Amino acid sequence: MSLITLMTDFGTCDGYVGVMKGVIAQLGAGVRVVDVTHDIPPQDVMAARFVVMNSYPYFPARTVHCVVVDPGVGTDRRGIALEAAVDGQRQFFVAPDNGVLDSLRGQVKRSVALTNPEYWRVRRPSRTFHGRDIFAPVAAHLATGVDLSRLGEVVTVDSLVRLPMEDAIATPQGFQGVIQYIDRFGNAITTIPGRCVTGRPWQLLVGERSVLPYSSYGDAQLGELLGLIGSHGWVEIAVNQGSAAERLRLRNGDRVTLVWRRGSC
């Protein structure tokens, strides 16, 4: 059975998500739809990028991922569709070309701009709802077997919009990174890969605060700040049953330093 995932910043109070599902049902009878989330903060392309990066590996081959976080809707920004290799298997992505798919860059096998209106819902789409008129129908067509090449003009991976995301930088003392995502619990997730710090004593410096690492949230005292390697594989800053983002007034892009503790080798 074909599978489409949906990720938006639409929320569930309005009918926008339901309308997209209706369009998919009209064009792809029997296609299964999974909601990844519709609670991306409004217009937060950086947050959408992170959720895309940490969700698509858990879906089967030929899944079509439709991502609509689109502050540039109605402008000259492109719509795109990509085919990417995930553990040797093909998955497909449909989204605005604004950086939400930036984390896929090294896995893209084919990419097109959505310039063929034959696969849109209408030839004159709304200037404010491309999720309904372009992205949902394109995702449905992909899920029912339309080849990517029929959706529009080929574009190069290098031409796709990139986000100004800073990778972590290794230093003799540890790593320099930034906050790349804050989840609903207020956990602040950094760009420092957990695999690079496993097995060596470390601590985080956030402004003037020092944060010690733990293996899990509950290992720290109630209300205590802690660092840990999250299930996503990145070093994060948390508070046991509290919000690190509120406690430290953190935002995406804030700088974080990881240093090796004395006595480490």
- More confident call, 29 vs 80: 80
Q: Which two tokens stand for residue 20?
A: 């997209």
CB 185 within 8 A of CB 242: no
CA 185 and chain centroid, separation: 17
| pLDDT for residue 239 | 97
Hey, what long-range contacts does 236-239 have (CB within 8 A, 24 or more apart)?
A: 236/187, 236/188, 236/189, 236/190, 237/179, 237/187, 237/188, 237/190, 237/204, 237/206, 237/211, 238/185, 238/186, 238/187, 238/188, 239/186
Residues 127-147: tens digit of each pLDDT: 999 999 999 999 999 999 999
| pLDDT for residue 265 | 34
Q: What angle do helix axes 136-143 and 16-27 make, rounded to 10 degrees? A: 30
Residues in the chain: 265
Name which of 8-12, 54-58, 84-88, 186-190 the model is least confident about.
84-88
The answer, as to whether pTM is greater than 0.75, is yes
Q: How confident is the model at residue 1 (pLDDT cuts 50, 70, 90)?
A: low
| pLDDT for residue 86 | 86
Q: How confident is the model at residue 119 (pLDDT cuts 50, 70, 90)?
A: very high
Whether 208 has a pLDDT exceeding 90, the answer reads: no
pLDDT, mean over the chain? 95
Please return the burial class of 262, using the count of CB atoms within 10 Å of its CB with bins 0-12, 13-18 and 19+. exposed
Whether 185 has a pLDDT exceeding 90, the answer reads: yes
Please return the burial class of 240, using the count of CB atoms within 10 Å of its CB with bins 0-12, 13-18 and 19+. middle
What residue type is assigned to position 85 of the chain?
A
CB 252 within 8 A of CB 180: yes
| pLDDT for residue 231 | 95
CB 63 within 8 A of CB 6: no
Q: Which two tokens stand for residue 186?
A: 């207020």
Q: How confident is the model at residue 262 (pLDDT cuts 50, 70, 90)?
A: confident
| pLDDT for residue 263 | 52
DSSP state of 161: -
Q: How confident is the model at residue 7 (pLDDT cuts 50, 70, 90)?
A: very high
Q: What is the rounded radius of gyration, in angstroms, for the C-alpha atoms of the chain?
A: 20
| pLDDT for residue 261 | 87
Q: Give dist(CA 123, CA 230) in Å, integer.
A: 45
CA 174 and chain centroid, separation: 26
Q: Which two tokens stand for residue 56?
A: 């698509």
Q: How confident is the model at residue 207 (pLDDT cuts 50, 70, 90)?
A: confident
For residue 139, CA distances in Å to 87, 91, 92, 256 come to: 21, 12, 9, 38
Residues 13-32: tens digit of each pLDDT: 999 999 999 999 999 888 99
Whether 219 has a pLDDT exceeding 80, the answer reads: yes
| pLDDT for residue 166 | 80
Residues 50-68: tens digit of each pLDDT: 999 999 999 999 999 999 9
Q: Give dist(CA 78, CA 177) in Å, integer.
A: 31
Q: Give dist(CA 87, CA 106) in Å, integer.
A: 12
Whether 264 has a pLDDT exceeding 50, the answer reads: no
Whether 206 has a pLDDT exceeding 50, the answer reads: yes
| Residues near 91 by beta carbon (within 8 Å), at least 6 away in sequence | 56, 59, 61, 62, 63, 64, 65, 83, 84
Residues 94-106: tens digit of each pLDDT: 999 999 999 998 8
| pLDDT for residue 132 | 98
Backbone torsions φ then ψ of 101, nearest 5 degrees: -105, 15
